[in-house]
Structure 1
């Protein structure tokens, strides 16, 4: 870049009081209005944080070293930065803002650090887990839109831990995917498969994020759950998972409420804040009809759930509506461009 071709706004003599305005001023040359707005707010809040806490040089360097260590431990199968975002509640906040769900649709939640892109596509009824020690589980689900119509051909990415609470990528000798698969919904919006009953497990806590949790006297555990991710053109991308109760019941045709392991000690203290009431379900037992239909023993552990997807258009409209309301409350005059807010300077 030729400095002579850039008209830099004049800077004031740097002080504690004017440094924020100076940084925002020099960043104002950016032609991308959304990026300029994000940087303006980021700089404002970062500087206010330093002022409000009277941040010391030693504390600043400690923070920089911590972030450096977070980056150094990241690999293709371990994303420590996602983990950090998760334990700070930022992941669930961003997902809730970016993918708002109208009443009656399935809520989203955090992706987590263990999703991979090597899961194999599996036909209906196959087993995605090869763990002989896990309790066998039959999963039967439906996919519908907000009008109750079945959605065919949705790509469904599913993953869970083994019976010891470890994902396949946590094993050094991993030779391929296990405990994960990709499925497609049929013409009735149904997909079904065999898995194992999920168990509680700790997030990786042998790195900088784990040390942070220990310093904060927080545990690293998550309640029992199974991950689902749905993709289909025209529908809002959905990442979600379900938490488990265990019930000793026979008729499970309408099972779709509650979803934590009963008396699970981590039910109300999920390390990554992913638990939502609407994503809780019961695990029951297959009655004679279900057992015959899906070729499992009567009394077999069974999970049923009805997922409801929303269209991209519905989500975009709701996101814009929510953004306008939230920023009006903050006294920010904005307009919505491509579904995202930028300052309204008119």
Structure 2
């Protein structure tokens, strides 16, 4: 096993610099025949940055092999219910950076944030004022709001996908069975309004029993996410929005491990004592509950 002889930050001899640069040039030229311009651009940029990283830190062969082993473990733990590569992208901030690049600010449109690894297709449809819990444990939370375009025009029939963790910080996909809970979709009415019962969000750690968790531990970072409720909102002619809302006052707002918190998405989840009448007459018995309002503004499609 060989090791780099030039320490990070130390001057690299000119002859050695040229030898390394020549390797990069040859690899870049190998993509010149690619007939897909975008693929060629992406691959050559990847090579430039990857080679620059290797040269900057004077990466040793042992370190490179450990990196390969890490990615191999990440692949082995990934399956149809757990996406460790998304977690890796999230904790490195790559997910949020990609979100930022692809969701440029547009007027008063609601800000986007990370998608996360826990979305599922084919969630149940919920009637207005219905409950997405489906047996998931947690304090009931009344969620309501409107969906409009940037001109303030209501958007009827917008599809709103919602999903969240239960009070123990687990999504349905983490239980290892076929349950589908704490998720669903609703449609806005003719005035662009929506409402449903969910659960008051609680903070939780991302899955940290795998390679990504060990990485966070090694660098002294917390796996905790600020409490949140996921939304994906879509309507023809408007930009699909993937976002969440966060609980104001939570201790993890400033240290969310996937960098997903934006001030505009922090909302007041107002505590309601047991016995407080509910907006749609639901009888909660002696249970306390909360309520939150989230008005959503969608940007035009293609922006």
TM, length-normalised to structure 1:
0.77
Q: Which one of 188, 212, 215 corresponds to residue 212 of structure 1?
A: 215
Report matched runs for 1:288-307 at 5 Å: 291=277, 293-296=279-282, 300-307=289-296
Distance 1:286 1:149, change over 3 A: farther
Query: Aligned residue for 1:118?
Result: 122
Contact 2:136–2:181, Cα closer than 8 Å, also in 1 = no
> What is the CA-CA distance between 1:291 and the residue it aligns to?
4.6
> What is the CA-CA distance between 1:213 and the residue it aligns to?
0.3
Query: Aligned residue for 1:93?
Result: 97
Query: Aligned residue for 2:20?
Result: 16
Distance 1:286 1:46, change over 3 A: same
**Counterparts of 2:278 and 2:219 in 1: how far apart (Å)?**
51
Q: Does 1:266 align with 2:255?
A: no
TM, length-normalised to structure 2:
0.88
**Counterparts of 1:133 and 1:95 in 2: how far apart (Å)?**
31
Unaligned regions of 5+ residues in structure 1, if any? 1-13, 246-261, 316-346
Structure with the greater relative contact order (CA < 8 A, sep ≥ 6): 1 or 2? Answer: 2
**Counterparts of 1:73 and 1:292 in 2: how far apart (Å)?**
43
Q: Does 1:183 align with 2:186?
A: yes
> What is the CA-CA distance between 1:133 and the residue it aligns to?
4.4
Q: Does 1:226 align with 2:220?
A: no
Q: Which one of 249, 265, 280 corresponds to residue 279 of structure 1?
A: 265
Q: Does 1:150 align with 2:154?
A: yes
Q: How many residues align?
A: 281
Alignment root-mean-square deviation, CA: 1.9
Unaligned regions of 5+ residues in structure 2, if any? 1-17
Q: Does 1:67 align with 2:68?
A: no
Query: Aligned residue for 1:106?
Result: 110
**Counterparts of 1:179 and 1:126 in 2: how far apart (Å)?**
12
**Counterparts of 2:257 and 2:202 in 1: how far apart (Å)?**
15
Query: Aligned residue for 1:166?
Result: 170
Contact 1:165–1:201, Cα closer than 8 Å, also in 2 = yes
